Structure 1
Amino acid sequence: MKFSSSLKFNAVSDWWDEYIAYDALKKHIYQLEKQQFSHEHSQSHDIEAQESSSLLHGQDTSNTDALFIPLLDRELQKIVAFYQQQEKELLDDLNDLEKDVQEQDDIGLQGGEHYRDYEDDEHEHDDDDDDDSVSASRSPDRVRRSLSRQRKLSHAGRVQRPPAAGSSTDQRRHSLSSFEDPMEESYASLHHQRGPRGALGKLGSKLTNLKDSFVSSAGSSGDQTIWNARTDYAYDTRLLYKRRITNLYISLTNLKSYVEINYAGFRKIIKKYDKVTFSELKDRYLHNTVETATPFTRESKDKISNAIDRLVELYTKCVARGDKTVARQQLRLHQRENIAWERDTVWRQMIGRERRGEGSGDDIAGATLIHEPEATIVDIPTPVGMFKITKRKISKLVALVVFILCLNIQIVEGREANRCFAILSFCTVLWATEAIPLFVTSMFVPLLLVLLRVIRDSDGVPLAPPEATKYVFSIMFSPTIMLLIGGFTISSALSKTNIDRLLITRILSLAGTRPSTVLLTFMGVSCFASMWISNVAAPTLCFTLIRPILRTLPPKSAFGPCLILAIALAANIGGQSSPISSPQNLIALNAMDPQLDWASWFAVALPVSAISILLIWLLLLVSYQPARSPDGDGYIEIKAIRPTKEPFTLKQYWVTFVCLFTIALWCVAHKIEGLVGDMGVIAVIPVVAFFSTNVLKKDDFDNFMWTIVFLAMGGIALGKGVMSSGLLEVMDVIIRDLVQGFSLYAVVLILSPIVLIISTFISHTIASVLLVPIAKTVGQHLPGDRSNLLIFITGLICSTGMGMPVSGFPNQTAATQEDELGELYLTNMDFLKNGVPASIIATLVVSTLGFVLMKIIGL
């Protein structure tokens, strides 16, 4: 959790304005960073320094410490003043409480002489006291008002009587029942439920007599005091002091927490300042300034701790009957209840609302990263409310209509083949329109395959539902799925141990300050990271790393949108570079017979990806001219990335070894097939190695992208269904007629633009699910069975569809990037102007260089 969120979550709500202004200081740091970089840049070119911002007030921008320290001092003064006020008031309350307890000791039980005279007007005070008891435990300021009021009432009680604390004597006894004997509690419960009359009333009367006998015997054994007597007056007095002590205890512990949180805030914000501005202020300011201020001195901490100990002693005496252990437990329980109330009512409801998806719009598909409420096309009033017609509802209706029509109209020969065609059409419409989440559509596949009895045996006889169920689910969890889970495990381990950020920052630190070099370096890093931590997480990580660069760019600089788009395009290219970098690669591997080993995949994919990155880099340089300053009079210089100085830990060495060992085994999987059986078995190695050594935990396993796993499982099941139902045989005849007379390369040139167009407008994974079986069928009817080659080309081109903002996860993430003013860096025109040409370039590289390399490796 970020510290700004942790601060809000742990702060006392009524004191929010009195805590360190962490977010405001962070914004000042970014402004200072920008001014510092502008100053250094202007000095390096020997030109006049730019005008200072309003924050700097004309001071020297190079001396950031002199500008930031006054901001810290202002926050520290605010915290010191607030702490001193709170400390004085609370300690005064404690002193008054101790005096009142001493006076109550002196008066003893004599203060209850006139108690019965005031029983009649007891209910006049009930509501006020109940409200006070509830609110007092919520807010420190209300606690103080409650303490003041109770103090006045306790003074009045020593002359006449203590104030009523509840709606009845029995309720007051119940409040202290944890410290009284069980007989008292039984009597109070019975008396409260049924009153003194009737059978239970008689039983209560007997219990009362029995209680009196115990009380009299207890009284004869020793002297009674106000703190252990059994009278109603003693109960009310103890309840009054229980409230006062508890409320004051909560206030003091809140003040102690206030000091700890603010110290952590100073430490965090100065650490961030040092990291951003390359300063060394943290140790000096914390030791010389913060730790010498009143709230943070050892003397002040001891004073608060001593006050808390004094309250424990009072609670032990007044409520817990001398049991100090019980007193500590009860006070801590009250403190936890107070904290839980604060968090539950203020924050956890908000967090729960977000987790439930409330307030984010109805009917969200959940298939993409951009979740926006869908616009309503038409509102139709109905007797049960307004019915909203949206695009997704129309898409669902269209899919249902297509499904019903295909089932009832003989489109292809064979009953099972026609039903499978209906399932294929139904899923294609839902996948293309994303009317429902993509993985939910995948779950329709096994359901419909079994219910419609599409699966056939080797003799062409439809399988019964029990046999069909076993077959479908056995093929859904294939070695390919295990390979996908192994890839998720490696990705999670690299991210959790910070290896990805450590390596990337060290590489980026070598890029220098030239915009063209920085751009190419980030593209290479984004592509490489996408190979191992998925093309979903890699661009997100890169976008985080470029924030310091974006903050120091001149306004309206072309380098910002150019860099963001370059990272997204490179991440898409990285999606084709390794077998585990994207689901479409795994679907292609699963369809190959025999499966391609990793060494052969790298022999083709790495040169193709490298050439594509270089050509797209040149395209972006020509299109954006990112090195030019916005006014066109000069050139910009990029702030250098600071390398991470943290050394490798033993855990990081372990993760690196396991990852490299697993990848090496994948590369030689065919040579050791007699030992391991399949690459899916090798994928178990990182799962066992990382989870058994606590590198990863159960929560990490829960956070795997299981929606993608189920999406791939549905695609595999659909492919097997097409083969088993006989639909593939029907498609064979049609496709054979279409490609008859064409050479292999002509088929590649025909297939490539079809795959590119489809993968641009729908999910890359779904495009591979639909197109890989077609490519396989086409290849089987070419001389020499070229199915593996066409499947490989189809899988690679599926990752090159990146011409639209919705074309793949990297584009969707890039489209949401905003500057400090909340304006988007990229527009649809950026994608059309640069994404479409980049897609065409990458496709041509696959269909030319990739084709040659595939022929060389024997496909």
Structure 2
Amino acid sequence: MKFSSSLKFNEVSEWRDEYIAYDVLKKQVYKLEKQQAGLRDTYHDVEANERTSLMDSTHVSDTDAQFIPLLDRELRKICIFYESQEKDLLDDVAELQRLVQQQEDLGPNGNHYDTYQDEDDDDEDEDGFDIQHSPIMSRDGTLPRTHHRNRSRSTSMGAGVPSGSNFARHAPPLSQRRYSMSSNEDHGELEASIASLRSATHPESPQLAPPSSVGRGESLSRSPIRAAKNLANKIFSKDPSTSYVAPPETIWTSRTNYAWDVQLLFKRRITNLYLTATSLKAYVELNYSGFRKILKKYDKVTESELKDRYLHDVVEQATPFTLPSKDKLNGVINLLIDLYTKCVTRGDASDAKRQLKVHQREHIAWERDTVWRQMIGSARRGEGELNGIRALGGSLVLEEEKGLLDVKTPAGHVKLTMKQLYALVAVIVFIVLLNVQTLEGVEANRCFAILVFATLLWATEAIPLFITSMSIPLLLSMLRVIRSPDGRARLSTHEAAGYIFSVMFSPTIMLLIGGFTIASALSKTSIDRVLVTKVLNLAGTRPRTVLLAFMGVACFASMWISNVAAPTLCFTLIQPILRTLPPKSTFGPCIILGIALAANIGGQSSPISSPQNLIALQYMETPLDWGSWFAVALPVSAISIVLIWLLLLVSYRPARSPDGEGDIEIKPVRAPRDKFSLKQYWVSFVCIVTIGLWCVEHKIEPWFGDMGVIAIIPIVAFFSTGVLKKDDFEQFLWTVVFLAMGGIALGKGVTSSGLLEVMDDIIRDLISDMSLYSVVMVLSAIVLVISTFISHTIAAVLLVPIAKAVGSKMPGNHENLLIFLTGLICSTGMGMPVSGFPNQTAATQEDDMGQLYLSNVDFLKNGVPASMIAAFIVATVGFVLMKAIGL
């Protein structure tokens, strides 16, 4: 979690404005970064000026001279608030001690039990106990001065505490109360009080003179005489019944109703003060972390060395962060624990600590319950994402979709959205195809209906993509589409279900999970970021070189951490560059689009870089090993990246300054200075070994059997050694896994039902007079168009079986060649904002003013030509390389 979020959800709500303004300071750091690059803002940054008290618009070269006063201002604010809260807390604790002693002097009966008022009194406390007329009274019958104040003298931390915890919930904050006692006087009195109170509550302490038989309600000046009498009775008494004298009963040990009310009252007051003290301690720690975090970011962005100097010389010398202040606060907390031990738990210190911690957890849960519930609810509803857009099954959809029909009926509003209309059309078409004989054979006809139904839902995304995939085994089993291996009889529902589920979880799916494991380990140990930044550090400051370097890194990262995570990582790394660009510079949209297009190309570079590659491997009669895949995919990807880079240079001219005077200079990406840890070396070793085994899988097949078995190696190695945890496993892209499983099930259904045989006859008629290369060009065009408008994975699910059927009917059996070609071209469909996840991520990138970097025109102008270039490279260079490796 980012520190800004951590600060937001750990702060005390009443103190919200008193914490370090971390977000505002961070924005000022970025403004200083621009100034350091020699740039001056030419627009009014509305977001950065949300806290005008921290903004200094003067452009000076010394960033420290601008930033240190802002830090000093925040530090002064924190010190003033802390000193005020500390004084109020010390006053309240001193007053509490006085009341505790006063109640002890009254004795266990108090003699004022008749001071309660009727239940309908306006001043009665919420728990039925009138604090203003409480049993805590002086010996002359007058009320103490404390009880003439506001009822329920809880601190500001009492607000919102559940009544089951016996907390006062409607008390004024501490800052609204003032006392005449100074903090220094309180500190000295508190130190003496801690020692005397521990003497009374912990008689086993060696510094205590009074013996354990002294009652808590007795004066310490009389305790030696009483102790001597008790000791004499024990030694000289001959009567066993008089050999032990029980300690006298006190208000804290009595079981009367009066004593219970008094104990309950003091329990609430001590608990509230304890919550205030611990919250004040957390306030100090959170603000110190804030200073440390913002100084670390400042040093990183501006290449300064201010952090250690400012923390040691300034922050740690301020009152809230000094050792005496921390000791004083810890002393107050310990004193309150001792008071709770005495007044509530009858001397049991461990039980007192346990109860106070429970109260603290309940209070925190109560205070933050609403916020967390809102967050969780928003996340489950898919709210809160950028511009109301959320990811759903690999695509972006608008959160608020306008209804085509909104009719008010007695039963409520009837609303019909576009997606509901698509789903309704798909269901109607499905029912019609089931009842109309369009193909020969019951199984083939029903499988065709399922195929059309799934295709419509996948293309329109009327429901989540993986839900459509999960409906396929349901329909295949219920409609008895699957036939026996010899093709003569239909399998029963039970037999069909067993067959479908047996093929859904295949070695290919295990390979996909192994790829997720490697990607998660590389990301969690920051190896991906280290490698990427080291490469980018060599790119220099020329725009065209930086663009090519980022495109190459995005392509390479997509090979190992998927083309879902790779563009996100690269977009994070370019933020410092984008912040220092001149306004209206074309380099921003150019590099964002370049990263997206390169990440799409990276999706074809390795077998685990995208699900469509794994689907292609699944349909091959003899799956390619990694060496053969790399022999074709790497040259094709490299050539495509270079040609797309040239296209972007011609289209955007990113090196040109917006004012036409000279070229812009890019801020270099600094490589991390930290050395590799043992864990990072372990992850690197396991990944290299696994990839090496995948590359030579055919040669070691007698030992491992399949690439899916090799994929288990990183799973066992990382989860068993603690590199990855259970939570990491739960965060895998399981929707993609089930999407691939549904595609495999559909492919088996098409084959087993006889539908593929019917398609073979049609395909044979179409390609009877066409050469192999003519088929390659026609198939490439069809795959490119379809994969541009629908998900790449879905395009592979639909088109790879067709490619297999086409290849099987051609002389020479070119199944694997056409399947491989189809899988590669599926990744080249990138002409629209919805064409693949990298494009979707790029389409949501905004500048400092909240304006999108890319528009639909950018994708049409550059994405469509880039798609055609990449597909042409696959159909030409890729085709030659496939023939060279024997396909």
Using the size of structure 1 for normalisation, the TM-score is: 0.88
Q: Which residue of 1 aligns with 2:276?
A: 251
1:97, 1:151 within 8 Å by CA — same for their partners in 2?
no
Partner of 2:15: 15
Partner of 1:460: 488
Verify the 8 A CA contact 1:4 1:23 in the aligned structure 2: yes
Shift of the alpha carbon at 1:110? Answer: 5.8
Are residues 362 and 675 of structure 1, via their aligned partners in 2, closer, same or farther at CA, if it must alter by over 3 Å?
A: closer
Give the match for residue 731 of structure 2. 703
- Map 1:546-695 → 2, pairs under 5 A: 546-695=574-723
Unaligned runs of 5+ in 1: 42-52, 153-216
Query: In the alignment, which residue of structure 2 is the partner of 1:115?
Result: 113
Deviations 1:399-453 (A, max 9, x none): 1111111111111111110010000000000000000011111111111111111
Q: Percent identity?
A: 68
The C-alpha deviation readout for 1:269-315, integer Å capped at 9, x for no partner, is 10010011101111000000000000000000011111111112222
Shift of 1:111: 3.1
Change (3 A) 1:238 1:467: same
- 2:849 — aligned with what? 821
Which residue in 2 is equivalent to 1:295? 320
Indicate how the Cα distance of structure 1 residues 149 and 628 shifts in structure 2: closer, same or farther if over 3 A, else same.
closer
Which residue of 272, 276, 279 corresponds with 2:297?
272
Q: 2:841 and 2:157 mapped to 1: Cα distance? A: 47
Q: Check the 8 A contact 1:365/1:435 in 2, yes or no.
A: no
Q: Which position in structure 1 is the counterpart of 2:754?
A: 726
Change (3 A) 1:365 1:580: closer
Is contact 1:423-1:448 (8 Å) kept? yes
Secondary structure at the aligned position of 2:248 is classed as: coil
Q: 1:477 touches 1:713 (CA, 8 Å); kept in 2?
A: yes
Deviation at 1:103, TM superposition (A): 2.0
1:73 aligns with 2:72: yes
From the superposition, tell whether residues 117 and 233 of structure 1 become closer, same or farther in structure 2 (CA, over 3 Å).
Answer: same
Once the two structures are superposed, residues 447-471 of structure 1 have per-residue CA deviations (whole angstroms, 9 ceiling, x without a partner) of 1111111100114210111111111
Give, in angstroms, the shift of residue 349 of structure 1: 3.6
SS of alignment partner, residue 415 of structure 2: strand
CA distance in 2, matches of 1:392, 1:357: 17
Comparing 238-247 with 262-271, greater Cα deviation is found at 238-247
Q: For 1:455, give the aligned amino acid.
A: I
Distance 1:473 1:276 in 2: 53
- Retained in 1: the 8 A contact 2:107–2:251? yes
The C-alpha deviation readout for 1:591-636, integer Å capped at 9, x for no partner, is 1111111111100000000000000000000000000011122210
Distance in 1 between residues matched to 2:466 and 2:606, nearest whole Å: 23
Q: State the alpha-carbon separation in 2 of the partners of residues 59 and 805 from structure 1.
A: 39
Q: Secondary structure at the match of 2:37?
A: helix
Looking at structure 2, the residues matched to 256 and 149 of structure 1 have their Cα atoms a distance apart, in angstroms, of: 20
The structure-2 alpha-carbon separation of the partners of 1:673 and 1:4, relative to structure 1 and needing over 3 Å to count, comes to same
Count of residues in correspondence between the two structures: 781
Q: Deviations over 1:684-729 (max 9, x none)?
A: 1111111111111111111110111111111111111111011111
**SS in structure 1 at match of 2:634:** helix
Q: Which residue of 517, 524, 535 corresponds with 1:489?
A: 517
Question: For the Cα contact (< 8 Å) 2:394–2:791, is it kept in 1?
Answer: no
Map of 1:315 onto structure 2: 340
Aligned twin of 1:126: 124
SS at 1:291's partner residue? Answer: helix
- Partner of 1:97, secondary structure, is helix
Of 644-653 and 16-25, the range deviating more from structure 2: 644-653
Contact 1:226–1:234 (Cα < 8 Å) also in 2: yes
Corresponding residue for 1:27?
A: 27
Query: What residue number does 1:234 align with?
Result: 259
* Cα distance, 1:101–1:132 mapped onto 2, change above 3 Å: closer
Report the more deviating stretch, 726-735 or 142-151: 142-151
Deviations 1:813-858 (A, max 9, x none): 0000011111100000000000000000001100110011111111
- Equivalent positions of 1:766-845 (< 5 A) are 766-845=794-873
Correspondence 1:340-489 to 2 at 5 A: 340-357=365-382, 366-457=393-484, 458-489=486-517
- Name the SS of the counterpart of 1:806 in structure 2: coil
Contact kept, 8 Å, 1:508 with 1:641, in 2: the verdict is yes
Q: Is the 8 A contact 1:455 1:725 kept in 2?
A: yes
* Corresponding residue SS for 1:377: strand
With over 3 angstroms needed to count, the CA separation of the structure-2 counterparts of 1:366 and 1:774, relative to structure 1, is closer
CA distance in 1, matches of 2:703, 2:554: 35
Residues 369 and 813 in structure 1, CA contact (< 8 A), matched pair in contact too:
no
Distance 1:142 1:31, change over 3 A: farther
Match in the other structure for 2:200: none
- Which residue of 1 is the match for residue 228 of structure 2? none
Match of 1:525 in 2: 553
Give TM-score scaled by structure 2 length.
Answer: 0.85
SS of residue matched to 1:38: coil
Q: Distance in 2 between matches of 1:341 and 1:813?
A: 37
Mapped contact 2:394–2:836 kept (Cα < 8 A): no
Q: Which moved more, 1:719-728 or 1:94-103?
A: 94-103
- Paired with 2:587 and 2:309, the residues of 1 have a C-alpha distance of 37
Contact kept in structure 2, 1:143 and 1:247, CA below 8 Å: no
> Structure 1 residue 347: deviation in Å?
2.9
Indicate the larger mover: 366-375 or 23-32. Answer: 366-375
Indicate the SS of the match to 2:314: helix
2:792 corresponds in structure 1 to 764
Could you give the per-residue CA deviations for residues 218-241 of structure 1, whole angstroms, max 9, x where no partner exists?
x99442222222333222222222
Distance in 2 between the 1:494 and 1:223 partners?
Answer: 68
CA contact (8 A) 1:147 1:244 kept: no
Deviation digits for residues 723-774 of structure 1 (CA, Å, limit 9, x no counterpart): 1011111100000000011110011111111110000000000001111111
Partner SS for 1:675: helix
Aligned to 1:331: 356
Query: Which one has the bigger helix percentage?
Result: 1
> What do residues 634-674 of structure 1 show as CA deviations (whole Å, max 9, x unaligned)?
21000000101111111111111111111111111111112
8 A Cα contact 2:84 2:175, kept in partner: no
Query: Letter of the aligned partner of 1:80 in structure 2?
Result: C
Alpha-carbon distance, 1:9 to partner: 1.0
Mapped partners of 1:364, 1:391: distance in 2: 18
Correspondence for 2:84: 85
Once the two structures are superposed, what CA deviation does each residue of 1:165-224 show, in whole Å capped at 9, x if it has no partner? xxxxxxxxxxxxxxxxxxxxxxxxxxxxxxxxxxxxxxxxxxxxxxxxxxxx9x994422
The answer to whether the aligner puts 1:105 opposite 2:94 as a matched pair is: no
Alignment of structure 1 residues 717-756 onto 2, 5 Å: 717-756=745-784
**Within the alignment, does 1:262 sit opposite 2:260 as a pair?**
no
Deviation, structure 1 residue 60: 2.4
Distance between the aligned counterparts of 1:363 and 1:56, measured in 2? 37
Question: Aligned equivalents of 1:540 and 1:241: distance in 2?
Answer: 55
Question: Quick one: which amino acid aligns to residue 17 of structure 1?
Answer: D
User: Structure 1 pair 54/408, CA: closer, same or farther in 2 (3 Å)?
Assistant: same
CA shift for structure 1 position 381:
2.1
- Secondary structure of 1:454's aligned partner: coil
Deviation at 1:342, TM superposition (A): 1.2
| Amino acid of the structure 1 residue aligned with 2:35 | Q
In 2, the alpha carbon distance for the partners of 1:332 and 1:117 equals 33
Listed as ranges, the gaps of 5+ residues in structure 2 are 42-52, 129-150, 162-167, 180-241
The amino acid across from 2:27 in the alignment is: K
